Every structure is written in C-alpha cells, then in structure tokens.
Amino acid sequence: MWGIPHNTPMVRISASERSATRQRLIDAGKVEFAARGLAGARFDEIALAAGHAKGTIYNYFDSKEALFFTIVKDWCTQLVAGFVTANGASAREQLLEIARLDVEIARKDLDLARVVINQLPGLVGDHRVGVETAIGPGIDLLTAVIVAGQERGEVLAGQSARTLARLFLNVLSAIEQEALASDSELGLDDVLPLVDGCFLRGLVQ
Amino acid sequence: MWGIPHNTPMVRISASERSATRQRLIDAGKVEFAARGLAGARFDEIALAAGHAKGTIYNYFDSKEALFFTIVKDWCTQLVAGFVTANGASAREQLLEIARLDVEIARKDLDLARVVINQLPGLVGDHRVGVETAIGPGIDLLTAVIVAGQERGEVLAGQSARTLARLFLNVLSAIEQEALASDSELGLDDVLPLVDGCFLRGLVQ
Amino acid sequence: MWGIPHNTPMVRISASERSATRQRLIDAGKVEFAARGLAGARFDEIALAAGHAKGTIYNYFDSKEALFFTIVKDWCTQLVAGFVTANGASAREQLLEIARLDVEIARKDLDLARVVINQLPGLVGDHRVGVETAIGPGIDLLTAVIVAGQERGEVLAGQSARTLARLFLNVLSAIEQEALASDSELGLDDVLPLVDGCFLRGLVQ
Amino acid sequence: MWGIPHNTPMVRISASERSATRQRLIDAGKVEFAARGLAGARFDEIALAAGHAKGTIYNYFDSKEALFFTIVKDWCTQLVAGFVTANGASAREQLLEIARLDVEIARKDLDLARVVINQLPGLVGDHRVGVETAIGPGIDLLTAVIVAGQERGEVLAGQSARTLARLFLNVLSAIEQEALASDSELGLDDVLPLVDGCFLRGLVQ
DNA sequence: AATGAATGAGCATTCATTCAT
DNA sequence: TATGAATGAATGCTCATTCAT
C-alpha cells in the first residue's frame, strides 16, 4: 500500500486529450450546424467528421441541443472575454470595439459566425430559453456599455438599455449576415464602417 | 353490405371553394411555421388547424417546402404590389415607404411576419435557392429604387445596388425582429423611426 | 351539391378492416411480449409478424407500453366479461369459476397467458401503475366475490378482501405458471384441482 | 512531461479486499435489479452505487447476466445452507422450515427478495437456462424433502416430486410477493401461516 | 377532390462491453 | 487491478409522402 496515492483522479486520458477530443467535436459541430441548422444537423455526421463514434459525443455533451448551445456560448464567451475598454472611451467607441471583436471572431471562425448569425433568430419555442441563456453575457455587456452611455448622455435615452443592446446585436448580425453571404459583394471589412456610419450615427450622440 | 360508402366527393369543387381551401391551408401554415420553423412544422398540425386531412395539402402544394415558400412569396407579393411611388419621391422616401408597407403587412399578419423575419435567415443549403426565388421580386424592387437613387446621387455609390437592397432588407428585418419579440419594449411603431434615424441616415445622402 | 352527405365519416378503411389490422398487431404483440418480455420486445418484429410496417403500429397504439397494456387489459376484460355467477353460488364456487375462466382463456391463447402470468410480476417503477390499472377490473371482481363471501362467513375475515383478491390472483398465476412451463409434468387441467384442493381449502370456510 | 501518472494500482489486492469489492458490487446490483429488473438495470448505476468504475464490474463478473445470476444463486445458497432438519421431522415441518428460512432471508435483504420473487418469472428464452441453473440446488433440496415425504406417505404421490417442488416455490413466491407489495396489508409475518394453512394443508397428508 | 391509413427512411439516444493505460 | 473513455449496435419513435378508395 505504499506509494500509490489512491485519491488521485483516476483519469484514463489526460486533460489535454480530453480537451482536444471535445474541441474536435465542437469544431465538427460548428460545420454541421452552420450547414444544416440545429434541426437538420445529424450527430452521425458530426461524429464522423470529428473522427469519433456517435456515442462518444454523449461523453461530452448531453444532447444535440447541449452541443449547439455550447458552441453559441463559446462565441459569447470569446466576445465578452476579448472586450477591453480604454479609459475614457465613448459609448460609440466601445460599441464599435465590440463590433470589431465580433467581426474578428467571425473572421477566425466562419462556421461559428454562421451558426450564431443565421441560426439563432430562427429558434423558437423551448429553444428560445437556451438562446437567451447562451447569449446572456453578451447582452449584459452591451447593456452595461449602453447604460453608461445613457448616463453620460451619449446614447438616446428613450429606450431601455437592454432593448437597445438586443437591437444592436440584431442589426450587427444582419449586416454580418450579408457580409458572409457567398454571393455578396460585401465582405467582413465592410461591416464596421456600416455599423458606424449607418447605425451608430443614429443611436449615439 | 349493400350500399356504397360515398365518402368521396363526386363533383368538381368551384374555383372559390378551391381558393378558400388553399387559403385555409396557407393560414394554418403561417401559424405552424411561425411557431416551429420550417424543419419543426408538422403537416398533421397544419391540416388539422385548417380543418382538412393531411393528404389534402398535397392537392394544393407539392411539399412542405412548397407551402412554406408559397407563404414567403405571398409576403413578397404583398410588398411589391402595395408599393406605389409618388412622383418625385426621393430614394429615402421610397425606402421608407417600403419599410412602412412591410410594417403594415406585419401588423395585419404577425405570423406571416414571424415566418419571414425569423425563419428565412436560418435556411441553408438547398433551401437558399427557394429563399432567393421567393423574395426575388422584393429584392428587385428595392434594387430598382436604389439604382435610381444612386443615379440621382442620393444613395452612396460604393456598393452594388443589389447588395444594398439585401442589406436594407436584412437590417429592416433585424429591427422588426426586436419589435416583434414578446419581451421587447419596442413595438412595430418604433420600427420606422429606427430605420430612418439609424439606418437610412447613413445609407442615403 | 346534391346527394353527397358531407358529414359522413370519411373513413378510408372499413371498421372491420381497421379492427382486423388492430387484432393482427395485438396477436403479434402477444407472441413477441411472451417470448421476450416488455423490455426485450422489438416493434420491428411485431410489425413484421403482423405483416405491416413499423410505423403502422403507431396508428393504433401510442407506444410499446400502450400495446402491452392493451393486451393485458384484453385478458382482464375477457375474464370479467365471462364471469357469470349462478344463484346461490358459494364464494368457493365463484372463485373456482373465475379460475376456470382464467384457465379457459389461457388454453385458447397461450401467449396471452404467458404475458399476463410471467411478465406482470416483474414490472416495476412507473410500469406498476399501468399494471394496476390494466388488471383493476379483475381485482375488483375478485374483491366483490370475496367481500360477499366474508359477509356470509364463508371467507376468512382477518384480511381485507382486496388483499385476498390479489393474493388469489398471485397464487393462481403461480400454479398456472408451473402448468405452462414447457418441461413441467403439470398441465392446465391440473390447475383447478390444485387451486381448490390446496388453496381454497385454506382460504374459504 | 516528466512523471508518470501512477493512476493504476501496482500491487495485488488482498483476498479480503477483493471479496469486499465483490460484495459491494453484489449489494449494489441487488438494489438496481430489484428496482429496474434485469433488462432495465444499468451497469453505470451499479458501479456508481458500489463506488467503483463501470469497467471494474467486469473484473468480477463476465456480464450483466452473470452478476444477476450470481445474486440469485447467492439467495439459493443461503437457503440450502441454512436448512437443518431435525430428526424425525415430517415433510410438512421441513417444508415449513424452508419457507421460514426464505422469509428470514427476505427480511434481512428485501432487495434480494424482490429480485428473486419478482424478476425470475419474467425471464424467458435464453435466460431460462440461467434461472434453472441458479435455483437448481434449491429445487434439489425441496425435491429431496418431497421424495422422502412421498415415501413416508405424507405427500400426495400423483405428481413427480420435482414438479411439486417447483410448484411449492412458485406459490411461496406468490404469497411473498403480495407480502412485499408496498400497498399490501399483508406482511412477511403472514407468509408462513398462509403457506401452512392454505397450501400445505392440501399438499401434504 | 378528399381522405387518412400505410409506409419506411431517418435519427437521437442508450448502454453493455472493450481495452489502452 | 482499476479505470472510464470509446465504441457502435440496437431501437423506439417521428413524420413527410403516397395512394387506394
């Protein structure tokens, strides 16, 4: 009985292996969800693309919905974690920074962007709860920025900050959607100018 | 066992009857598609709500997709048919008029609006073709307005008119989507000011 | 528009056809459930044996459990419906008559008997509710017979009639189970004497 | 990457440790099998309840069935080992003693009793072999007692001793089953009088 | 034209079993 | 020995579509 600490975690794969498998599943999920939507996505395909058996997904995610919302939450986490505001930045500058981050994320991971931008609006019924939960932190961040902007008089005060936050996200997504369309002449580079020139010009100041 | 069960109609139905049945199916389809999306909608429910048998739908529409896109096309037809431009109207006025029409249609038929606004962006793959076809006339109308506006120098000229048309529709939908959300403080009345103040201010002139 | 009563039921198959299909499914279900138990039975097999597609079962029964309990209830209904008591029959005679009926039903339909006798005791958890509901009328009948017997002093009074009813059914099933076993020397003809000689001799009078 | 994850025991475990682990698995198995039946039991749950990993079960038992029948055999072993017959005891006294032992075992281990009493009858097909093997010694014991009773003229001679033995076990189980039912007014204390008064009175002498 | 029973492909999910560590 | 991640066969159930009446 000497020598063997029996209370060490008896893992069979290392944390990095587990994490890698999980990431492969997530990556494959992004592709499939982007291509077929939540309802149309098939676990068979995701598992196959990830190089695993179908059952393996259930070692990492409870259900198809769980994998989907993990992906959406991942997007939201990146957005919130990446946001750093400079001292004395205006509401407009901060909103633009969020938009810039979002575009940056989309540029790195087009499938992720397609999932978030195209699929979320169409989710109805029970799935709405999952959507709201998953993107909640992003909405919270935007709301905080807008509240501060309203207090400084930079953002129009007639509407609640939360409503304006959701509106901002909706419109940002709408512009990105066009930019991501395969037959569009717009590219991701055009998103920020459009957000600033078209949308923020009316919302702030 | 004498007697034949005459359980099938033996006469042609009148054109008005046929039309009425078709409309009942469309109306029931709007409700179901709005509530569950294209993938989640069930023909059983649509038929039941319309007061018909499931098989009857196939006497009027080739498939679930066909019914869906008929509904979308119906929206588009209303939009295009309702548009009347005054002599000498500016691009901004004309775009606002289209937005006003769209809001008016949404107000009359919330389910139709939910189908168009929420479901269309999520359609991917083969369905994209159906989407483009169904909303084509609307895009064409907007494109024509924008082209004329660009020729008169009212609309920014850096982008193709078609791209701007799709962008306009996207953003209009995004704003309406927030306005239609059940927990939103925004209403349909707020859409036009937002389109004008936020978006058109940057797009035109 | 003359001549066609549009409010006649628009059935596509006659009631007898529907009933026949339903019965084929029930018969195939009996075989499969008897051979593999509720958990092990496969809908594929039942449908195949009945000469139908898998989905057809769902036009007649909500779920595997529903088909199973329909079968059990069918047994119970036969038992209750077949019971006719002679004037002035003693409790012992009535209980024997019920046992005789049960043996008769088993003789006509061995698979049905195997389902009821072998499978019911092993159902646990949520399934217990289904069991109690399905065999309720049989228990009620036995209880009524025993209550009357207790009032006439023919049945021992120390226990509740309902408990004795369930005990009677348990023991009857236990004896039949042995009689149905493939390698048993006992046959169904031996059940009644055993019930009377061994069990009722202690229970009544 | 220096350091080897010593997450596996490197020493043999002692016989007592092995035995304790085995017993924990058996105990957990009793609970799970009693609650869900053989088909419905999950190895995950058994392992979790026993404080081990799922794979560990396979170091002790070949399969789910093997664990199940080990449990059943354990019951049978207890029954046979506990039986001590007094000199000159009658068949009735010896059968009652076996019943008493069975009730005693059930009282000590209700889950074990539920497994044996409720689950065994429902096992069909290939599983029957396992059942017969597992309870064989118990049947042998009963058969020996009955054979001797028949030779002394105490037990009715029309049926084979083995058949009567199985019948006795069936009926004993049926009575215990009612006594174990959660909503029954009968308790385990009522089993012996019922076996004696109702059943043995007819079977012996 | 209308019906609705029948169909069967399709799919998410479960879980006993294996095996590399 | 112990582990638990990986596996993949198995299966209940759904539902768009067909078609005989």
Decide: CB of B3 under 7 A of nucleic strand E: no
Please name which of D53, D1, D7 lies closest in space to residue A12, comparing C-alpha atoms: D7
Q: Judge whether residue A146 has pLDDT over 60.
A: yes
- For residue D198, give the nearest of C114, C124, C202 by CB distance: C202
pLDDT value at residue B16? 85
Q: Judge whether residue C140 has pLDDT over 80.
A: yes
- Rounded, the Å distance between the CA of A127 and C1' of E5 is 33
Residue C16 pLDDT level (bands cut at 50, 70, 90): confident
Query: Contact, A95 vs A200, CB < 8 A?
Result: yes
In a shared domain, residues D191 and D163: yes
Does residue D22 form part of some domain? Answer: yes
Longest dimension (CA), chain A: 73
Element containing residue A137 per DSSP (H, E): helix A126-151
Please name which of A44, A12, A192 lies closest in space to residue A107, comparing C-alpha atoms: A192
Domain range enclosing B27: 15-61
Longest dimension (CA), chain D: 81
Average pLDDT over residues D112-133: 95
- What is d(CA A172, CA A196) in angstroms, rounded to the nearest whole number? 10
Q: Judge whether residue D1 has pLDDT over 70.
A: no
- Which nucleotides of chain E does any protein CB come within 7 A of? 1-21
In a shared domain, residues A114 and A154: yes
Indicate the DSSP class of residue C6: T
Residue A11 pLDDT level (bands cut at 50, 70, 90): low
Instruction: Give the tens place of pLDDT for each residue, D3-43.
Output: 344 444 445 678 888 899 999 999 999 999 999 999 999 99
Looking at the complex, does the CB of residue A65 fall below 8 Å from at least one CB of chain B? no
Instruction: Give the tens place of pLDDT for each residue, D46-87.
Output: 999 999 999 999 999 999 999 999 999 999 999 999 999 888
Instruction: Give the tens place of pLDDT for each residue, C149-176.
Output: 999 999 988 889 999 999 999 999 999 9
Please name which of D123, D107, D102 lies closest in space to residue D41, comparing C-alpha atoms: D123
pLDDT value at residue D8? 44
In a shared domain, residues C95 and C182: yes
In a shared domain, residues A161 and A186: yes
Average pLDDT over residues B38-51: 97
Burial (Cβ within 10 Å: 0-12, 13-18, ≥19) of residue C35: middle
Q: Report the number of distinct structural domains present in chain D.
A: 2
Question: Which range among A37-41, B1-5, B97-101, B115-119 shows the weakest confidence by mean pLDDT?
Answer: B1-5
C167:D39 CB<8 A: no
Decide: CB of A41 under 7 A of nucleic strand E: yes
The CATH number of the domain holding residue A41 is 1.10.10.60
Looking at the complex, does the CB of residue D10 fall below 8 Å from at least one CB of chain A? yes
Looking at the complex, does the CB of residue B12 fall below 8 Å from at least one CB of chain C? no
Looking at the complex, does the CB of residue B9 fall below 8 Å from at least one CB of chain C? yes
Average pLDDT over residues D179-194: 93
In a shared domain, residues A44 and A109: no
Average pLDDT over residues A147-175: 94
Average pLDDT over residues D88-101: 96
In a shared domain, residues B116 and B198: yes
State the DSSP string of B83-143. Answer: --PPTT--HHHHHHHHHHHHHHHHHH-HHHHHIIIIIGGG--THHHHHHHHHHHHHHHHHH
Does residue A1 form part of some domain? Answer: no
Average of per-residue pLDDT values in chain B: 91
pLDDT value at residue C18? 85
Decide: CB of C49 under 7 A of nucleic strand E: no
Q: Judge whether residue B103 has pLDDT over 70.
A: yes
Coarse DSSP helix, strand, coil percentages of chain B, rounded to the nearest 5 percent: 75, 0, 25
| Integer angstrom CA distances of residue A42 from A35, A68, B42 | 11, 12, 19
Q: Judge whether residue A104 has pLDDT over 50.
A: yes
- What is d(CA D25, CA D66) in angstroms, rounded to the nearest whole number? 12
In a shared domain, residues A122 and A72: yes
Average pLDDT over residues A178-184: 92
Does residue B7 form part of some domain? Answer: no
D98 vs B183: which has the higher pLDDT: D98
Query: Contact, A122 vs B118, CB < 8 A?
Result: yes
Does residue D9 form part of some domain? Answer: no
Average of per-residue pLDDT values in chain C: 92
Residue B55 CA to its chain's centroid (Å): 25
In a shared domain, residues D82 and D152: yes
Looking at the complex, does the CB of residue C188 fall below 8 Å from at least one CB of chain D? no
Does residue B8 form part of some domain? Answer: no
Does residue C21 form part of some domain? Answer: yes
Decide: CB of A199 under 7 A of nucleic strand E: no
- For residue B7, give the nearest of C1, C3, C8 by CB distance: C8
Does residue D97 form part of some domain? Answer: yes
Average of per-residue pLDDT values in chain A: 91
- Rounded, the Å distance between the CA of A18 and C1' of F4 is 12
Decide: CB of B55 under 7 A of nucleic strand E: yes
pLDDT value at residue D5? 42
Q: Judge whether residue A9 has pLDDT over 60.
A: no
Spatial CB neighbours of C175, under 8 Å, sequence gap ≥ 6:
C191, C194, C195, C199, D167, D170, D171
Does residue C87 form part of some domain? Answer: yes
In a shared domain, residues B129 and B167: yes
pLDDT value at residue C95? 96
Please name which of A22, D41, A30 lies closest in space to residue C122, comparing C-alpha atoms: D41
Please name which of B130, B16, B20, B39 lies closest in space to residue B76, comparing C-alpha atoms: B130
Count Cα atoms within 13 angstroms, Cβ side, for D129.
4
pLDDT value at residue C9? 40
Spatial CB neighbours of D122, under 8 Å, sequence gap ≥ 6:
C37, C118, C119, C121, C122, C123, D37
Query: Contact, C154 vs C204, CB < 8 A?
Result: yes
Query: Contact, D165 vs D91, CB < 8 A?
Result: no
The CATH number of the domain holding residue A94 is 1.10.357.10
Question: Which range among B1-10, C102-111, D27-36, D189-198 shows the weakest confidence by mean pLDDT?
Answer: B1-10
Mutation site, C4, C14, C16, C58, interface B, largest B CB count within 10 A:
C4
Indicate the DSSP class of residue C62: S
- What is d(CA B80, CA B102) in angstroms, rounded to the nearest whole number? 10
- What is d(CA C112, CA C104) in angstroms, rounded to the nearest whole number? 12
Nearest nucleic acid nucleotide to B57, CA to C1' distance? E2
Question: Which range among C11-20, C30-39, C98-107 shows the weakest confidence by mean pLDDT?
Answer: C11-20
In a shared domain, residues D72 and D103: yes
| Integer angstrom CA distances of residue B62 from A14, A21, B56, B57, C52 | 54, 43, 11, 8, 27
In a shared domain, residues D44 and D144: no
User: In B, which residues are within 8 Å of C8 by CB distance?
Assistant: 5-7
Question: Which range among B141-145, C167-171, D182-186 shows the weakest confidence by mean pLDDT?
Answer: D182-186
pLDDT value at residue A5? 41
In a shared domain, residues C109 and C89: yes
Nearest nucleic acid nucleotide to D58, CA to C1' distance? E17
Nearest residue (Cα to C1') for E7? Answer: C53
Query: Contact, A35 vs B127, CB < 8 A?
Result: no
Enter the pTM of the model. 0.91
